[in-house]
Amino acid sequence: MSLAPRTDFPLLTANPELHYLDSAATAQKPQAVLDAVDAFYKEANANPRRGAYAISYEATQRYQHARETIAKFLGSADPECLVFVRGTTEAMNLVAATAGRVNVGAGDNIVTTALEHHASFVTFQRAAIEANAQFRIAELQADLTLDLNHFASLLDARTKIVAVTHVSNALGLITPVADVVKLVRQKAPRAVIVLDGAQSAPHLPVDFDSLGVDFYAFSGHKLGGPMGIGGLIGRKSLLEALPPYQTGGDMIETVGDQETTWNAVPFKFEAGTPNAAGAVGLAAACDYLTALGPSRVRAHEVALISSLVTSLASIDGVTVHGPAGVSDAVMALRSGAVSFELAEAHPHDLATILDQHGVAIRAGHHCCQPLMRRLGVAATARASVFVYSDERDVKALGGALEHARVVFAGA
Amino acid sequence: MSDLEALYQSIILDHNRRPKNFGELPAPVQHAAGKNPLCGDEVAVYVKLDGDRLSEVSFTGKGCAISRASASLMTGAVKGKTRAEADALFDLFHDVVTGKVKAEDHKAELGSLIALGGVAKFPVRVKCASMAWHTLKKALESPTS
């Protein structure tokens, strides 16, 4: 059984035969999210934080309430620590353009891992190049989990940024954040830690205030919210000390002829008219997941992924990337996505055949070319689940893979 | 024949498994590389000209069955043709895989390329089928090295 009724999701209702196993790319949207966006435009459409009239006040209230709801959902007690951006990619660019510009200089280094999404990897690689700093990449162990010893060996007093994913988007493996934070604080006291939460916000109970990181970046659309809205949660004192990101309306305090002073956090980082309807929709998605219960979301995902891994491993010629088996210890490392390969079949061909069975998976490099190089492949197939996924989806994938195996069986 | 069976005909699967003209050609040769950033597939095409005629054509690379089979079939189809004939064949092939013209109406010109006619039903795979052709075009415009 799925945790959430499929009937809550209009796209799934309209496509009863669809087995949507690409939620790691983007999640389907519950009706409540669509309603909240619709209601904002129909009932409260005005530019928030600007007008003195009633509708503008209503828009401001809904926007502010959205910030409170989303911050609370991700465990930030202070809603002002949440900066709205378009998504994880922009959040990473914000960190690079502010903390990167201020802190990273020639001879410094930025430390990351071989698991990162291009949104983080490329952004900090470029920041390092521009600052004449080193870009250091922590390698993986044989089971594709982060090699913490190697990671530790890269940290030093000149490490200024540590960019690590919370959950690998390509492999679905969870990073041991507590260990990472401990190592960084011991060995790299001047570093800020930015955690890529694109794949953890939808799946794991996240408590920013106890994670111990400096920044947490996430995308709303991956947890059922609209596209084009996401956030960067940061430690308040750090956000206050950083320079602005983009300049423009609403991020200023006073504009003089020759100099300008900045608005308070988080508004300092939010130039221009905000995506208020998006924020309201994302808050509705957080409410939806809160009602389901974050720990139940996680338990549902563990049960389903365990079944998915078992099903995949039982098919001749299928290799599942990552630690073998579905023991409790392994499942503690696995989140909502599984990468796999079928011998003799290119992932792209696999996706086409699966699509004919109504099974939607992702085939490609998952914006992780550095990881693909280390795996020695150009692409993998990835199946990912969310609250509306169920055993029927897992079964459909297994059946479709058997068919693909027959098509590509050596002749 | 279902759309899927039409796409993955045995000739396609055979060319994927045992591609023809696979490997580099020795210098002097014109060559170019193509890449599909979406899926990471890569192809390199090598071509030797005898006057205006493509006397030898080969390819290397890794990719899906459609891209490999298409590259393999292409090397056979353009060998011995003039540049203008190869260009015209690409135009026709492109019209076929994008569904602008019916493969059945051009059986003679297409020859064994007709096996890729099924791609027309799968718009997301057009890039896979045409990557080698685009790369051949690029190779023909490249200097000999």
pLDDT tens figures, B31-62: 999 988 777 789 999 999 999 999 999 999 98
> What is the predicted pLDDT for the residue at B32?
96
Nearest Cα residue to A333 out of A217, A172, A196: A172
Question: Please, what is the angle between helix A276-292 and helix A31-43, to 10°?
Answer: 150
pLDDT along chain A (411 residues), means of 10: 94 97 98 98 92 91 98 98 98 97 97 98 98 98 97 98 98 98 98 98 97 98 98 98 94 94 95 96 98 96 97 95 96 97 92 95 93 92 98 97 87 44
Position B84 pLDDT exceeds 90: yes
Cβ pairs A/B, distance under 8 A: 55
A81, A286, A367, A368: the catalytic one is: A367
Rounded to 5 degrees, what are φ and ψ at A86? -75, -30
Instruction: Enter the pTM of the model.
Output: 0.93
Radius of gyration from C-alpha coordinates of chain B: 14
Question: Please, what is the angle between helix B65-78 and helix B83-97, to 10°?
Answer: 150
How do strand A109-113 and strand A134-138 relate by DSSP bridges?
Answer: parallel
> What is the predicted pLDDT for the residue at A1?
78
Residue of B nearest to A349 (CA): B64
Count of all residues that appear for chain A in the document: 411
Q: Is B123 on the interface with A (CB under 8 A)?
A: no
Identify which of A347, A352, A410 has the shortest CB distance to residue B125. Answer: A352
> What is the predicted pLDDT for the residue at A411?
44
A367 carries an active-site annotation = yes
Enumerate the residues of chain B whose CB falls inside 8 A of the CB of residue A379. 39-41
Q: In angstroms, rounded to a whole number, what is the distance separating the alpha carbons of residues B144 and B27?
A: 8
Candidates A349, A407, A408: best to mutate against B (most CBs of B within 10 A) is: A349
Residue of A nearest to B124 (CA): A352
Identify which of A345, A365, A408 has the shortest CB distance to residue B39. Answer: A365
Residue of B nearest to A367 (CA): B38
